[in-house]
Amino acid sequence: MPKLQPTRHNYVKAAVALWLTLVAGSVDVIGYLTLYHAFTAHMTGETVHLGRDLLQARWRDALTAGVVVAAFLIGSVIGRAIIEIGSRTRVRSIASATLLIEAALLAAVIPMAGASHKPVLLLLAMLAAAMGTQTATLTRVGALTVHTTFVTGMLNKLAQVLSRCAFLSYDVLRGRPALVERKNAFQQAAFFSGIWILYLAGAVSGAWMKSVWGVHALAPTAAAVVIVVPVDQFVPLSIEEEKDQS
């Protein structure tokens, strides 16, 4: 099991990952409640919708789900391409570019969604692309793999770590030297739990903001992404991702 090394850089990245997870939960529910009941961060659900709609020959619904999945993939590819450019040109704060693209996509949805004949497919594609870009921006905290836009993988990681915590606690009770490993495992469990909790908190806050402000609830989410940009200038967030590309 990889360790979450107690360095300043990793602590900052962990905090940013939790923050962006909160954003993703908000965007997912705001998009769902505003536009065609489609998830723009949860591609597992949209893939299931796509399969069901294809089987039932619901072509319009299938097109919607297909566009969302394709846009998420394109956003992720663009994000990784930007990080590749950062790796090749040695730009340490390349995450700022992907974060600003994400924020711009979220903000651009607001006026378009208020139109009398809003382009639903385009708006869904913009939200999904924003989430895909975010997914590519931050994928690792030290040696840990992180997903900020969906929590299924994080819950699986949490289950693995909780199991390890139980066995390491048993080892400690038996007098075996496992205190350091157990501490590290509990830290990981707390982090993975935080991912799920923050996604849930984002969904709750997003649903509330949508009920109060409508589609303008996306404004605070876009602002929350922009807030991370200065952090990236002082503590580059995509260094591990750039190394993966080199």
Residue 1 pLDDT more than 70? no
Domain assignment of residue 3, yes or no: no
* pLDDT (0 to 100) of residue 9: 86
Evaluate whether residue 2 is within a structural domain. Answer: no
Task: Supply the pLDDT for residue 5.
Answer: 61
Q: Within the chain, where are the H helices? A: 8-34, 43-55, 59-89, 95-113, 120-137, 152-173, 179-213, 218-234, 239-245
Question: Does residue 189 form part of some domain?
Answer: yes
SS3 228: helix
Q: pLDDT-based confidence at 51, cuts 50/70/90?
A: very high
Does residue 159 sit within a domain? yes
Q: What mean pLDDT do residues 196-219 have?
A: 96
Which range in 38-42, 45-49, 72-76 is most confidently predicted, on average pLDDT?
72-76
CA geometry: angle at 233 spanning 85 and 196, to 5°?
A: 90
Could you tell me if residue 238 is inside a domain? yes
Number of domains in the chain: 1
Determine the pLDDT at residue 246: 54
- Does 230 map to a domain? yes
- Give domain status of residue 1, yes or no: no
Where b means 16+ CB within 10 Å and e means fewer, 155-173 reads eebbeebeebbeebeeeee
Whole-number pLDDT of residue 178: 86
Domain housing 121: 8-245
Q: What is the pLDDT of residue 175?
A: 86
**Among 4-13, 17-26, 91-100, which is the least confidently predicted range?**
4-13
Cβ atoms 162, 209 nearer than 8 A: no
- Residue 140 predicted with pLDDT over 60: yes
Euclidean distance between CA atoms 245 and 110, whole angstroms: 34
Distance separating alpha carbons of residues 60 and 65, to the nearest angstrom: 9
Q: What is the mean pLDDT of residues 106-131?
A: 92
Q: Which of 116-120, 136-140, 166-170 has the lowest mean pLDDT?
A: 116-120
How far is it, in rounded angstroms, from Cα 4 to Cα 8? 11
192 within some domain: yes
pLDDT at 116 over 80: no
**Percentage of the chain surpassing pLDDT 90?**
76
Instruction: State mean pLDDT over 60-79.
Output: 96
Chain mean position to CA 74: 15
Amino acid in the structure at residue 228: V
**Token output for 71:** 């846009």
Confidence of residue 3 (pLDDT cuts 50, 70, 90): low
- Tell me what the pLDDT averaged over the chain comes to: 92
pLDDT tens figures, 177-188: 888 999 999 999
Q: pLDDT class for 6, splitting at 50, 70, 90? A: low
What is the spatial distance between Cα 14 and Cα 198, in angstroms, rounded to a whole number? 12
Please tell me the predicted confidence (pLDDT) of residue 30: 96
pLDDT over 70 percentage in the chain: 96
